[in-house]
Structure 1
Amino acid sequence: MVINTELCALSEYRIYPGNGKLMIRRDGKPIWLGSSKAFSLTIQRKKAAKLVWTQAWRRLHKKGITETTTKKKRTRTGKVQRAVVGASLEEIRKKASQKSEVRTAQRDAALKELKAKKAANKGKSGKGSSSAGSKPHSFQKVPKHMGGKGSRGGKGSTQR
């Protein structure tokens, strides 16, 4: 069974039979008002869009339309490759396109070369120095609180 309902001119809520007031405006247009509150506010010439509880305000401030809204499209930033201080962009791309076996072979070759250089340097330094100690400089770590030139209150401090 369908019930004949009217819409309130102010709040836009449904007015069921037996409720509300029918007001005829000066220009002759009939206006249905759902409650005495709506009637009073209409007489005071209040705007429905400024009253938070009305449908006009909710429509104006985009409230209650969650199911119809779609997800906002997010723009993804494109990745930009830049040259590093030591290598240009072309070199980086060339290395990336190389196979991993080639890179590992190059790394092993570079390591062998480094080891060979170190061994050659050790051989030269061992033959050149005929001193008893293998280390030319030996530093002994001394804790800071054991005195010295500073004014920390140790044995060597002269200031008081």
Structure 2
Amino acid sequence: KRRRIRFIRSDSQVFLFVNSKCKRYFHNKLKPSKLTWTAMYRKQPKKDIAQEAAKKRRRATKKPYSRSIVGATLEVIQKKRSEKPEIRDAAREAALREIKERVKKAKEIRTKAPDANEDLLPVPKTETEKR
């Protein structure tokens, strides 16, 4: 770690100085853009070549990659993606209708079943089944 000179202003803002030279210039209220050796001076007339090169460098973006999932091949997935929303809604409605019909049939069977099952009593287990 480097040792730096810390100055805390009355409004609680902290300033760190690399050396006493920087601290002296700060307290004398000299603008860094007027001092030839500062980074700010070099940036103003665009003398800072190293940073210009760094700006031009671009990060490679990740391209989306699609692959098949356990239950479906890539072709099936692509087909579902390109499917129109109307077709998808119709399929959903048909599936819901079928489920509702099954539930209705199950309720009908349950309402009719108690009358038929009243005669049936549970069969007692034999000695071998108990063990």
TM-score bucket (shorter structure): 0.3 to 0.5
Query: Whose helix fraction is larger, Structure 1's or Structure 2's?
Result: 2
Higher relative contact order (CA 8 A, sep 6+): 1
